[in-house]
Amino acid sequence: MKIFTLLRVSGRRRGAWLHDGVRRLVTSASALKVCVVGGGPAGFYTAQGLIKARQDMEVDIYERLPVPFGLVRFGVAPDHPEVKNVISTFTQTAQHTRCSFYGSVNVGQDVTVEELQHAYHAVVLSYGAEGNRRMGVPGEDLAGVYSAKDFVGWYNGLPANSQLSPNLDSDTAVILGHGNVALDVARLLLSPVDILKKTDITQNALDALAESRVRRVLLVGRRGPIQVACSVKELREMVNLPGTRPEMVTAEFEGVAEALKEVPRPRKRLTELMLKTALETPGEKEQERRRKATRVWCLRFFRSPLAVLPSPDDPNRVASIRLAVNRLEGSGEGARAVPTGEVEDVNCGLIITSIGYKSLPIDSSVPFDPRKAIVPNSMGRVQQAAGLYCSGWLKTGPTGVIATTMNNSFDTARTLLEDIDSGTLDVSAAKSGSQGIGALFEKRGVKPVTFSDWEKIDKEETKRGQAKGKPREKLLDVEEMLRVART
């Protein structure tokens, strides 16, 4: 019986078949070559969808940082390790013989999108949303005001945010937004340090939170309880968070119980939990727990930011936020917040804006809609750009959870495959793929980090974490990552 064995060579997909002792390279001129720009969930799911669909498909993933996994590594809350289990799936994709990962490659600078298009049959842009949406109000640049994206990046070890050093000296923090990220930030601010020190939170964030004086967190939203964007799981975690108690304004739930008849089941469960938390008298055990609580959180509704107000002692630092009081026009998901003319000032020394991430243009050759902050596309096909596709938040805007991104990315993979089958995407000419791009990198002094290089970083982080009783201690500096990867 003939035995065929697939080998991985030099940490790359250029595998080889062993047939009767004769070595033969898998890669052929007829292979379909696709590159994916962005090594986060969208990029890996797109690559997975393509590789599984066709045996003649080779996919290269290019990532700006030396480390893969994007928001799974840098966005998921440290106390949600189960969400990070998808990393094992992404690792299987990266280690597939027809997939290669190239980190520390800045597309748009190290290599242009047009150069990638020349080397590959198709290019899929999946680089996510690394910009911040701004409030657009006076004072938002004062010290003590942070975007949730940057704050999350700080406690999750994103190199760009590792030096953030947020001021946690005030009693009250205001978070603008009612989405899952807003609740993640609130939970991290109020969690007992004993819980956090068993997670992969960065040591500098853990040290800062251990000294934090924040005891009260207000989560402020412009609309009402029926419109909150968080999941019931996230809200339940807040309700049950040790050492904390909720303080709701009962008047803000007027008429909500009656409106429940019209809402879908997931929304109904979420709203019922809010109503129970805000209006029902808890049982004796829960009352006792709340009495002992030293920290407080509150969902506030019908409020929009008007201005961030400075401290009289330090005009560069935040002292309070002025909120417009709103009423709703319409009902359900489509209800609009309309200012009543009434305002309210809230004293606080920390403001975190969780009003959305946004994608940024990567290359002047790629169409971009600055208003929607997406690449204009139809089912993932970039408009007026043959052979160019997009997936993830760059395709839809920053919405949904990892499962949403998975489906979105598989859809883009299907679109690309349909275009191959229909002849819309011309794959008749041979393409050089990473071989051609590698020659450009050679000339330009670009040294990509392979997946086996990343595994050295992973091993070092795990070792440092074990020494502290944590799953990992992330490297925060890109240069240090590169040193470890190339050791």
Q: Are residues 385 and 353 in the same domain?
A: no
The residue with tokens 């959870």 is: 401
Q: Are residues 178 and 107 in the same domain?
A: no
Q: Are residues 151 and 244 in the same domain?
A: yes
Give the per-residue pLDDT at 266: 84
Residue 474 lies in a domain: no
Phi, psi of 40 (to 5 degrees): -95, -165
Q: Are residues 284 and 343 in the same domain?
A: yes
With both helix axes pointing from N to C terminus, report the angle between 478-485 and 451-466 in degrees, rounded to the nearest 10.
Answer: 110
Phi, psi of 201 (to 5 degrees): -55, 145
Tokens of 188: 């991290």
Residue 370 lies in a domain: yes
Residue 485 lies in a domain: no
With both helix axes pointing from N to C terminus, report the angle between 232-239 and 265-279 in degrees, rounded to the nearest 10.
Answer: 20
Last residue of a domain, one of 357, 382, 403: 357
Residue 404 lies in a domain: yes
Count of structural domains within the chain: 2
Q: Are residues 379 and 261 in the same domain?
A: no
Q: Which domain holds residue 411?
A: 5-130+359-449
Contacts of 365 (CB under 8 A, 6+ apart): 112, 113, 114
The residue with tokens 């242009």 is: 112
Residue 459 lies in a domain: no
What is d(CA 273, CA 286) in angstroms, rounded to the nearest whole number?
Answer: 15
Q: Are residues 333 and 241 in the same domain?
A: yes
Last residue of a domain, one of 357, 385, 405: 357
What is d(CA 31, CA 276) in angstroms, rounded to the nearest whole number?
Answer: 59
What is d(CA 163, CA 160) in angstroms, rounded to the nearest whole number?
Answer: 8
What is d(CA 121, CA 34) in angstroms, rounded to the nearest whole number?
Answer: 6
User: How crowded is residue 295: how many other Cβ atoms within 10 Å of its Cβ?
Assistant: 18
Tokens of 119: 């080397």
Last residue of a domain, one of 330, 357, 384: 357
With both helix axes pointing from N to C terminus, report the angle between 86-94 and 41-53 in degrees, rounded to the nearest 10.
Answer: 50
Q: Are residues 201 and 73 in the same domain?
A: no
What is d(CA 125, CA 120) in angstroms, rounded to the nearest whole number?
Answer: 13
Residue 482 lies in a domain: no
The rounded average pLDDT for each run of 10 residues, N- to C-terminus, in the chain (487 residues) is 33 33 42 96 97 96 98 96 95 96 97 97 94 91 96 97 94 97 97 96 97 98 94 96 96 90 88 94 92 96 97 95 96 89 97 92 92 94 94 91 93 97 94 95 97 98 96 97 96
Residue 323 lies in a domain: yes
Contacts of 182 (CB under 8 A, 6+ apart): 148, 175, 176, 219, 230, 352, 354
CATH of the domain at 209: 3.50.50.60
Is 387 in contact with 123 (CB distance < 8 Å)?
yes
Give the per-residue pLDDT at 21: 30
List strands edge to edge, sheet with 350-353.
Answer: 145-147, 350-353, 172-176, 216-220, 295-300, 244-246
What CA dihedral angle connects 194, 199, 205 and 206, to 10 degrees?
Answer: 20
Give the per-residue pLDDT at 28: 52
Q: Are residues 121 and 141 in the same domain?
A: no
The residue with tokens 């940490």 is: 11
Is 44 in contact with 454 (CB distance < 8 Å)?
no
Q: Compute CA distances 405 → 8, 43, 193, 415, 467, whole Å.
A: 29, 10, 32, 15, 35
Give the per-residue pLDDT at 19: 30
Taking the model in full, what pTM does it have? Answer: 0.91
Residue 215 lies in a domain: yes
Q: Are residues 209 and 348 in the same domain?
A: yes
3-state secondary structure 81-149: HHHHHHHHHHHHHHCCCCEEEEECCCECCCECHHHHHHHCCEEEECCCCCEECCCCCCCCCCECEEEHH
What is d(CA 228, CA 182) in angstroms, rounded to the nearest whole number?
Answer: 11
Which neighbouring-strand residues pair with 322? 307, 345
Q: Among 255, 218, 258, which Cα is nearest to 344's?
A: 218
**Degrees, nearest 5: CA angle 213-219-223:** 165
Q: Are residues 92 and 184 in the same domain?
A: no
What is d(CA 300, CA 137) in angstroms, rounded to the nearest whole number?
Answer: 19
Q: Compute CA distances 446 → 107, 199, 254, 428, whole Å.
A: 11, 34, 60, 30
Contacts of 413 (CB under 8 A, 6+ apart): 45, 46, 48, 49, 50, 53, 391
Q: Are residues 196 and 318 in the same domain?
A: yes
Q: Are residues 344 and 375 in the same domain?
A: no
